[in-house]
Structures are given as structure tokens and as C-alpha cells.
Amino acid sequence: MAKITFLGAGSTVFVKNVLGDVMLTEALQGFELALFDIDGGRLRESEQLLLNMKESLGSSCVIKAYTDRKEALRGAKYVVNAIQVGGYDPCTITDFEIPKKYGLRQTIADTVGIGGIFRNLRTIPVVLDFAADIQEVCPDALFLNYTNPMAVLTNVLISQGGLQAVGLCHSVQVCVPGLFDHLGIDTAGVKTKIAGINHMAWLLEATKDGVDLYPEIKRRAAEKQAEKHHDMVRYELMLKFGYYVTESSEHNAEYHPYFIKRNYPELIERFNIPLDEYPRRCIEQIKGWEERRDSMLANKKIEHTRSREYASHIMEAIETNNPYKIGGNVMNTGLITNLPKEACVEVPCLVDRSGVTPTYVGDLPPQLAALNRTNINTQLLTIEAAKTLKREHIYHAALLDPHTSAELSMDDIVSLCDELIEAHGSWLPTYR
């Protein structure tokens, strides 16, 4: 029996979306859906939810929860990863509260920035353990990574873990529909091209019947900036640098040195930046799940419609050889020619029976490549820190991070890193 293994299966709502999609896909019927999580209680909740869905959807997939990770992986054809090492409490709280003491504020802290660096440092050893297990018990499996920080973890899984892996993020799928809806532009018949790095990929082209839509996009975006709205940072970046970026304004506010600044507090108000947004979301999600958990788990007729997630479509394309296009995170094997070859990039990919095949992009506009490289610098130095266990490379990653370096002195950045290393304790390996 072919197997799909889900690591981090305690993420019950996400499990519902991804594996619910699988149960609705004809080509994936009969697969074993193997669930693994270190939280036994959450694992059982996800198992019960999927058993309810299997009955209500009439799926022939087999649901099985495992407490042994290697056994969950054994013989898997596909592995889906959605873990969060350290969770909200204590690690996310630490990532936000200690930098605040230094006057460094964040919004999401899951990609780059000081929070993204430390999320990487505690997650890289775990995903490399996954890779070692996979090499032993299912070496041909395709690893579908949904865990952030996406670019660094996917890079490590491929370059150090030796896996067939692709990183999957929602931002490419929702970029154009969200932008066009907000600006009142019809998406019918529109052709687009998106490429860059995860959370900072660019809408390079948007045309309809051969006509470039960017002049109209920018005209309407400039008008929108006269009043407060949810996407002010991205519109400002587009109006200054010429192109729209895939990931949300709350994310991009902390990827650049321009928006969250102690000496210019009016920028927070001007660009409608939600500081501490991710901890707020965590609290709301925890409360929301507690309020609806019992009713969801007791619902024997739970409904599901296929979601926007790429995972089931990738598996279906491989099983049926019917091609499917995704935006995927892969190593830069000459795909974007003015970004480093050591980087993980986000580019259009074709999926069919031969697997995930990335497409050639060429040079990005020089200003976009330059912005990408500011984040790639921190990503690659974070990987170097994790590989060598040298504390100095953690400092280097933080010293070169655009937002952190714009706010703090070099001495304060080193002190902040030392304090975060101590606070994370056993969540990190020992750095010398």
C-alpha cells in the first residue's frame, strides 16, 4: 500500500485541509495516510477528525497514527512536513519578548529577522533528523515542506539532507487574486509570471491580450495609498521598486529596513503595520481550536471541499502524469541567474510523473535581485551557523539582517543573540 506520511500531524486544521484534499482525489484512493506528532493528544485528535472525514467523504484511504517516527516514514512515497519546533510557548514568546527589550519590534518573525534566525536554528537539527530517517526507510520519497522558515529549511533538506524536496507556500497562489480583487481588476484571461525567493518573490509580469497591466495596477495602487488599508507596505514597495511582492505587508514590513523604526514611529501608523501580529494570531488560533474542538471531533458528517494547497495536486500529477504548475521552492541550479547558486529560490515548476521540474527564469530586474540578496545573506549565514555550530555566524546573520541592522548597534546585536541563545536553552544545540 502506498503511503503519505504527515509530520506535525497535531496541526489538526492544516491536516484536515491537506489530507482532506487527498481523500477527495481519485488517484490517491487506497493510500495509507500515516500521522506522526510528538504531542500524543493532538495526534489522536487529528486521527479522529480524519476518521470522521474518511467516513463522510467515502474515501478508501487508510488512516493510521504512529508514535514511532521512523515507522511512520517507512516506505512512504510522499512526506508532508508541517512542524513548529518550540511552538508558541515558549519559543515564539522568546523570539518576540527579548528583542523588545532592545527596542527591536517584529510582526511575524518566522522568515528572516532575529525571530526567523532563531526559528531556523532550533528547526534545522530536527529536519536533518527527519532526513536521516528518510534516507534509511524511504529514500525515494518526495518531501513536501510547509514549515517556515521556508527558504532555509528547504535549502538544508536538499543540500545537506540529500532529499528530493520542494517547499510550498500559499503566497504565490493568493498573490494575484488578492491584489486584483483589492484594486478591482478582473483576473479573467490574465497571464502572470512570479519568481524570486520565498516571501519575497515578485510579480514580474501581468498581461491581458498582450497588454501590460502594470501601469493600471500602479495607478490604482497609488490612489489606494491615500487611505489606510491592509496592504500599504507592499504597495509602497511596488511604487518605489516597480514590482509587487508575493507575501503580505505584515511580513514584508520586517524584511526591509524602511518601515519599523524606533526613530520614526509615525511609519507604523502611516503604513498600518501590525506589530506583534504573530503572537496575536497564535493566541486566537489556540482559543479558536479549544472552542470548536469537541464539536469538530464529534461531527461524523464533516464536509470538505478541495483546498488551494498544492500537496494533493502535486501527488495527483505524479500519479496520473497529468501536468500541474506550482510555485515551488528549490535550489537555484541556474534558474535565477543574478541570485547566488547556494540559495533556495521560488520559481514556477512543472509537476508530472517525472517529479517536480523547475523552470528557468534568467535575471530578475536588478533592484529586485538586490532586495532578495539582502535576505539571502542572512539565510546563508544562518545555515553556516547551524552547520558549523559557531556562534560567530549567528552574529553575522543578525548583523546583516536588514531590519535588525537598521535598528541596533553591532554590540547590541551581539548581546541580543547571546541572550536569545541562553533563553532558548535546550531548544538549540550548543554553539561555541
Catalytic residue list contains 170? yes
Which cell numbers in the block locate residue 167? 517547499
CA distances from 416 to 48, 165, 203, 261, 425 (A): 43, 33, 35, 17, 14
Q: Which of 170, 182, 304, 424 is catalytic?
A: 170
Q: Is 182 assigned to a binding site?
A: no
Three-class SS of residue 36?
strand
How many angstroms separate the CA atoms of 386 and 390, rounded? 8
Q: Is 155 annotated as a binding residue?
A: no
Q: Where are the beta strands (DSSP E) in 102-251?
A: 142-145, 164-167, 190-197, 200-208, 211-212, 244-245
Longest dimension (CA), the chain: 61
Q: What string of DSSP letters covers 374-431?
A: HHHHHHHHHHHHHHH--HHHHHHHHHT-HHHHHHS-HHHHHHHHHHHHHHHGGGSPPP
338 belongs to an annotated ligand binding site: no
Q: How far apart are CA 88 and CA 358, in angstroms?
A: 34
> Pairing between strand 142-145 and 78-81?
parallel
- Residue numbers in the known binding site for substrate are 148
- Residue numbers in the known binding site for Mn(2+) are 169, 199
- List residues with catalytic annotation: 170
- Residue numbers in the known binding site are 148, 169, 199
